[in-house]
Amino acid sequence: MNKITQSRLLQITAVFLFLQSLIITLSPAARARTWDVEYRFLQWIALGVWGLLVARAHYDITRKLPDADPYLFPAAALISGWGLLTIWRLDTNFGVRQTGSFFISMVVLIAGTRLLTIDFLRRYKYILLTCGMFLVTLTLIFGTNPSGSGPRLWLGYRDLYLQPSEPLKFLLVVFLAAYLADKLPSRLRTIHILYPTIILSGIVILLLIIQRDLGTASIFTALYTIIIYLATGRKRILLAAFFLMAFVGVAGYYFVGIVQARVDSWLNPWNDPSGSSYQIIQSLIAIANGGIVGRGPGLGDPGFIPVALSDFIFAAIAEETGLFGTFGLLAIIGLIITRGLRVALRASDLFRRILAAGITAYFGVQTILIVGGNLRLLPLTGVTLPFVSYGGSSLLTSFIALFVLIHISNHLDIDPAPLPKPQPYLALGAFLSLGLFACALTNGWWSVVRGADLLTRSDNQRRMIEEQFVSRGLILDSTNSIINDNHGKIGSFSRNYKYVDLAPVTGYTDPIYGQAGLEATLDDYLRGIKGNPTSTLWWSNLLYGMNPEGLNVRLSIDLYLQNRTDEMLVGKRGAVVLLNAKTGEILVMASHPTFNPNHFDESGTKLITDPNKPLINRATLGQYPAGSIMQPFIDALYGDESVNDNVLINVFKTFGFYQAPQIQLPVAPALSQDDIDTMRVSPLQMALASAALSNHGVIPAPRIAMAVNTPVEGWVSLPELGKPIEAIQAQAGDDAASSYLVENQTYWRHSGQAQEGESSFTWFIGGTPPNFQATPLAIVVLLEENNLRLAQRIGEELLVDAMHP
Amino acid sequence: MTALLVLILRVALAIALYAFLGRILFTLWQDLKQQGEFLSSQKKPGIHIHAVLENGKDIQQRFVQSEVTIGRDPNCDFPVIDEAVSAHHVRISYHHSQWWLEDLNSTNGTFMGKIQVTVPTVLITSDQFKCGGTTFTILVDMVDEKLLQ
């Protein structure tokens, strides 16, 4: 009966791992969306080794231990196989090593099935514990770290490493079980019995604290408390341990740097996302990226999580299999715990009972500690997830402990040893189940409730991976000529900036330097998050874990006029804005000097520190003193009155200079009205004010992004962000414009200069006359030099060009 | 196309994982069911009680339930009219594959031969015990050993 159950479960496990391995093999094809890729085959080695060893172990367990619990071994085999494949998928070198550890673990287990009894553990308890402690002590002198730096918790010989604190966990459980089973039945007072255990465990814990292996130290403390509580049934022990832990925790917080760092990054991870909380935040982002269904084995990017192999393997599994996977994983660990406690309760003597319960507590506590740490439910401690994480010592110890549990379960008596108090065992079961349940709930919280927030964080590196796999929407001008498009194919897409001189306006999107300009403000459309039907988004995310293809966006920019402008501005510092005075559509927006975003990789750092500030869009972000260019506006508002500060403030207010224009571009912040001397105006603000003179006193709402090409409705126009403002009476505007008309020309104009310290600035404004029959236009030219002639030439030529297309 | 194939495999993967857990639930449930059926199929032997009152009158009755109370109270399973017998005098019950005799703190006590029954005592066929002036003789049915397990 047991044999059939166990073999069925192992068959299902084999199917599960086979499918997982197959998906990893195919994952490159799914990522690249083509069959022509390099498939991943290496992890099949691990599956082959797993299959052979598990089959052999199954054969031996069912033959030598026919009455053993049939659930324990398949459960451990499943999660260790899962861990093995996950490690191979992350790093094949570590995969090979872990496969070796798995081989050794299974050989030990298979050899163990030949043991008739485990009583030798009881007899040699002192020797075993002493050996364990000796090895840990050795690490104080000879300790190394396989990764070269960090706490030196390992003993190394050539390429083999042993972390003695792992087997010591098991040996401590064995010792306590054996010692208590020997002494408890005697009539000594409990406290006399406990003295030696307190001293021995204290030494062990102290050793670990000296080594800064605080995670393992807290596991030892928890295990010691639980085992003593189980054996004696006294609640006082729990209270005492709780207060001791709290005291040590608080003391550690104030006196030990690493404790403080861990606790701080646990309580306030968002304060320092790139420093001390980097690990936990990357873990949460990975978990959020997994969502409910996961990305699929091989299809996520768990490589972004630091130490994903060992400490954060739960987060890696969560990313690739989602809530479905982690709930299953936690359920399987819960199963091991319930079966373990059942073995404990039905064990034939006190030693086996305490031992079984102690082993169960070891699995449970360690799982909750590290899974809780991954989920920010608990402070992070660098312990392993039993059976799953990378680490030979941990895997071997887990399997030895499991074997002991299986061995005890083979000799369950019909009449178990009498149990004076069942409450401690039930309390342990409830405590561990609640812990796992809390982990599952927290996992759901990060994956579902907070998932979207986490994924849009700028430190989510998956966004940049996505850029390489999903083609970004094009940016087009008003006649659908391409401004920005993409290079390369799926997996190697990169942005191609065809009309380079517009770079300060359209901005850039770069894996290192981030995004700027229209590429940033229109990102949701260009990335396909907005504008696509929900079903397309959902399906694309399910299939690829990525958003669908980006949508093309059309600007109001006229590339012909833009090009004319840029030619005239070459070598200058300045800005030009030409817009439709009625609709606010921006036909030209130039900012010089410009830069070439196609070569951002080489020149990025230099551009950022360039004193000429080429990255800044001067048309919207530049703020300049207005000087004499204000005259037409003063005329429009006050006629011939004499100018004073109040008049100027009123003019600035009326023409919107105290407001930041609303447009899909970063703009300079609105200035305060208090100080007239520091008053600054951006070219865009000036252009909008000039438009009021050509548009019967109405300031239009500026627009640059006009429409987006959606798959369902075709071109859909993007709404304007601001509203037109009636600044002055239509007649006053018309009169002001008329008084600046140029003879024999169909435009008005005015130029002016401003001085600030050493720097001088030249402004030119102009526009179509009030009675103009075609499209009304307004223009602003700003030069960061004293050059009235050039400003005038640029402004007039452009106006004429724009009026006669 | 590739991603669709992988999606199908991913669904199969999730099914396999939950098949594992489902299979465990199924076998645990089957275990439970089997245990229930086993317990309900356990046959207990009937018991035949023969009482001889002080006045020589005798009553006898056979019981198949697992618990029989004897006393003066007419609500007892086996009421006897004897002033020396308490209202609820003894209980005879079947558990641990045996019939057990248990005195219910009676006034005059229960005796097997000369020994007073103070702790639950196993009863076998042809055992006799005395409550007040009444003597009871027990006959336990013979049951097929196989059914008793």
Residues A316-373 have pLDDT tens digits of 999 999 999 999 999 999 999 999 999 999 888 889 999 999 999 999 999 999 999 9
Which residues in chain B have Cβ-Cβ distances shorter than 8 Å to A9?
Answer: 20, 23-24
A134 to chain B, any CB pair closer than 8 A? The answer is no
Q: DSSP alpha helices (H): ranges in A411-552?
A: 423-444, 451-455, 462-469, 503-506, 517-521, 523-526, 534-544
* pLDDT of res. A244: 86
Q: A617 falls in which pLDDT band (50, 70, 90)?
A: very high
State which H helix or E strand residue A354 sits in: helix A350-374
When pLDDT is averaged across residues A398-410 and rounded to a whole number, the result is 94
* Residue predicted with more confidence, A640 or A515: A515
| Pair of tokens at residue A101 | 């550890």
Question: Shortest CA distance to A382 belongs to which of A290, A289, A261?
Answer: A261
Q: Distance (Å, rounded) from C-alpha A362 to C-alpha A220? A: 9
Which residues in chain A have Cβ-Cβ distances shorter than 8 Å to B23?
Answer: 8-9, 12
* pLDDT of res. B145: 53
* pLDDT of res. B148: 47
> Given an 8 Å threshold on Cβ–Cβ distance, is B9 in contact with A544?
no
pLDDT tens column, A490-525: 888 889 999 999 999 999 988 778 888 999 999 999
N-to-C CA span, chain A = 90
Determine what percent of chain A is predicted with pLDDT higher than 90. Answer: 52
Q: Does residue A692 carry a pLDDT above 60?
A: yes
Q: DSSP alpha helices (H): ranges in A457-530?
A: 462-469, 503-506, 517-521, 523-526
Nearest to B3 among A15, A332, A543 (CB): A543
Radius of gyration of chain A from its Cα atoms, rounded to whole angstroms = 36
* Among chain B residues, CA nearest to A15: B16
State which H helix or E strand residue B139 sits in: strand B134-140
Which residues in chain A have Cβ-Cβ distances shorter than 8 Å to B6?
Answer: 23, 26-27, 29-30, 296, 299
Nearest to A8 among B6, B14, B23 (CB): B23
* Among chain A residues, CA nearest to B16: A16
Q: Distance (Å, rounded) from C-alpha B93 to C-alpha A165? A: 56
> Given an 8 Å threshold on Cβ–Cβ distance, is B21 in contact with A335?
yes
Q: Distance (Å, rounded) from C-alpha A270 to C-alpha A278? A: 9
Question: Shortest CA distance to A368 belongs to which of A428, A426, A278?
Answer: A428
CA atoms within 13 A on the CB side of B44: 18
**Inter-chain Cβ pairs, chain A and chain B, closer than 8 A:** 80
DSSP state letter for A551: P
At how many degrees (to 10) do helices A683-694 and A730-739 cross? 100
> Given an 8 Å threshold on Cβ–Cβ distance, is A19 in contact with B16?
yes
Which residues in chain B have Cβ-Cβ distances shorter than 8 Å to A335?
Answer: 21, 24
| Residues ≥6 apart with Cβ < 8 Å to B93 | B66, B67, B68, B99, B100, B102
* Among chain A residues, CA nearest to B26: A5
Nearest to B12 among A19, A32, A299 (CB): A19
Q: Is the dihedral of CA A150, A151, A152, A154 positive or negative?
A: negative
Q: Distance (Å, rounded) from C-alpha A204 to C-alpha A220? A: 8
Each residue's pLDDT, cut to its tens digit, for chain B (149 residues) gives 888 999 999 999 999 999 999 999 999 999 889 888 887 777 778 888 988 888 888 888 888 888 889 998 888 888 888 888 998 999 998 887 788 899 888 888 899 888 898 888 888 888 899 888 889 998 888 765 554 44
Q: Distance (Å, rounded) from C-alpha A67 to C-alpha A58? A: 13
Q: Distance (Å, rounded) from C-alpha A84 to C-alpha A719? A: 53
Q: Does residue A7 carry a pLDDT above 90?
A: yes
Strand partners, A510: A514
* pLDDT of res. A407: 93
Q: Is the dihedral of CA A121, A122, A126, A132 positive or negative?
A: positive
| Pair of tokens at residue A279 | 């690990």
Which residues in chain B have Cβ-Cβ distances shorter than 8 Å to A299?
Answer: 6
* pLDDT of res. A414: 67
Q: Distance (Å, rounded) from C-alpha B122 to C-alpha B95? A: 10
- Whose tokens are 């009482």? That residue is B51
The answer to whether the CB of A40 falls within 8 A of the CB of A25 is yes
The answer to whether the CB of A763 falls within 8 A of the CB of A791 is yes
Q: How many CB atoms lie within 10 A of CB B95?
A: 11
Query: What torsion, rounded to 10 degrees, do the Cα atoms A676, A682, A687, A693 define?
Result: -10
Mutate to test the interface with B, among A10, A86, A543 (most CBs of B within 10 A): A543
State which H helix or E strand residue A784 sits in: none
A545 to chain B, any CB pair closer than 8 A? The answer is no
| Residues ≥6 apart with Cβ < 8 Å to A230 | A354, A357, A358, A424, A425, A428
Q: Rounded to a whole number, what is the distance in Å from the CA of A712 to chain B's nearest CA?
A: 22
* Among chain A residues, CA nearest to B15: A16
pLDDT tens column, A123-177: 999 999 999 989 888 888 888 887 777 777 788 777 788 888 899 999 999 999 9
Which residues in chain A have Cβ-Cβ distances shorter than 8 Å to B2?
Answer: 26, 29-30, 32-35
> Given an 8 Å threshold on Cβ–Cβ distance, is B19 in contact with A20?
no
Mutate to test the interface with B, among A12, A31, A72, A436 (most CBs of B within 10 A): A12
Which residues in chain A have Cβ-Cβ distances shorter than 8 Å to B3?
Answer: 30, 33, 543-544
Q: Distance (Å, rounded) from C-alpha A318 to C-alpha A335? A: 19
Mutate to test the interface with B, among A3, A16, A329 (most CBs of B within 10 A): A16
Nearest to A35 among B2, B7, B16 (CB): B2
When pLDDT is averaged across residues A705-729 and rounded to a whole number, the result is 89
Nearest to B17 among A16, A71, A335 (CB): A16
CA atoms within 13 A on the CB side of A111: 7
Q: Distance (Å, rounded) from C-alpha A416 to C-alpha A563? A: 91
Window 11-30 of B, Cβ < 8 Å to A: 12-14, 16-21, 23-24, 27
* pLDDT of res. A112: 92
* pLDDT of res. A561: 93
Window 8-27 of A, Cβ < 8 Å to B: 8-9, 12-13, 15-16, 19-20, 22-23, 26-27
Question: Shortest CA distance to A88 belongs to which of A48, A128, A138, A119?
Answer: A48
The answer to whether the CB of A766 falls within 8 A of the CB of A750 is yes
Question: Shortest CA distance to A663 belongs to which of A587, A600, A586?
Answer: A586
> Given an 8 Å threshold on Cβ–Cβ distance, is B6 in contact with A293?
no
The answer to whether the CB of A686 falls within 8 A of the CB of A652 is no
At how many degrees (to 10) do helices A214-232 and A423-444 cross? 140
Q: Distance (Å, rounded) from C-alpha A151 to C-alpha A129? A: 23
Q: Distance (Å, rounded) from C-alpha A65 to C-alpha A97? A: 30
Window 208-247 of A, Cβ < 8 Å to B: none
